[in-house]
Amino acid sequence: MPSFDVVSQVDMQEVRNAVDQAYRELANRYDFKGTDTKINLSDEGISLESSAEGRLEAAIDVLKGRLVKRNVSLKSISGGEIKPSSGGRSQTLFTLSQGIPQDAAKELSKVVRDAKLKVQVQIQGDQLRVQGKKRDDLQTTIQMLKDLDYRLPLQYVNFRD
């Protein structure tokens, strides 16, 4: 029976490349000289810190621009509230979302079932498995999910005939 998986993944190598490019740009740009703006990728996410709130907002724009150029969806990052830090500095933390959370999986499953297509949807951990008898039904499901413009970046992998 034909099937495919709906996943939400982030290519960590592309994120790492985007952070490195943003770091180099912040180190070389004239308007960031003397602001001691730092960007760091860790297991928790991407942290930015600067001596001025305005420079931190500009650094966030640089980071987002680099992520977009590396084809990393901005839907996959969350957080980013600017908080004051010690010494009059400002900082923020962006977290990267991997996988489809349980509530989002149930919501997507309901959307597919309500479309009245002849497919079955199973929640398997942090991904969805969609099965159907006809390949055309699966392709219609993929197109419907793409048109949905969901709050998470969705990829459609493992299409088997």
Q: What is the CATH number of the domain that holds 18?
A: 3.30.70.990
pLDDT at 31 over 90: no
81 with 21, same domain: the answer is: yes
What are the Cα distances from residue 20, in Å, to 28, 46, 125? 12, 11, 32
Note down the domain range covering 148: 3-8+99-160
Same domain, 103 and 138: yes
- Give pTM, 2 decimals: 0.82
Q: How far apart are CA 132 and CA 130, in angstroms?
A: 7
* pLDDT tens-digit readout, 136-154: 888 888 888 888 888 888 8
Q: How many domains, the chain?
A: 2
Give residue 139's pLDDT: 87
Q: Are residues 92 and 114 in the same domain?
A: no
In a shared domain, residues 90 and 105 = no
Pick 17 or 148 by higher pLDDT. 17
CB 47 within 8 A of CB 92: yes
Q: Look at residues 73, 96, 119 and tell me which one is the last residue of a structural domain.
A: 96
- Please tell me whether residue 87 adopts helix, strand or coil conformation: helix
Q: Exposed, middle or buried by CB within 10 Å (0-12, 13-18, 19+), for 83?
A: exposed
**Is the same domain home to 24 and 50?**
yes
pLDDT tens readout for residues 43-97 = 889 999 988 888 888 999 999 999 999 998 888 888 878 888 888 888 999 999 8
Q: Would you say residue 132 has pLDDT above 90? A: no
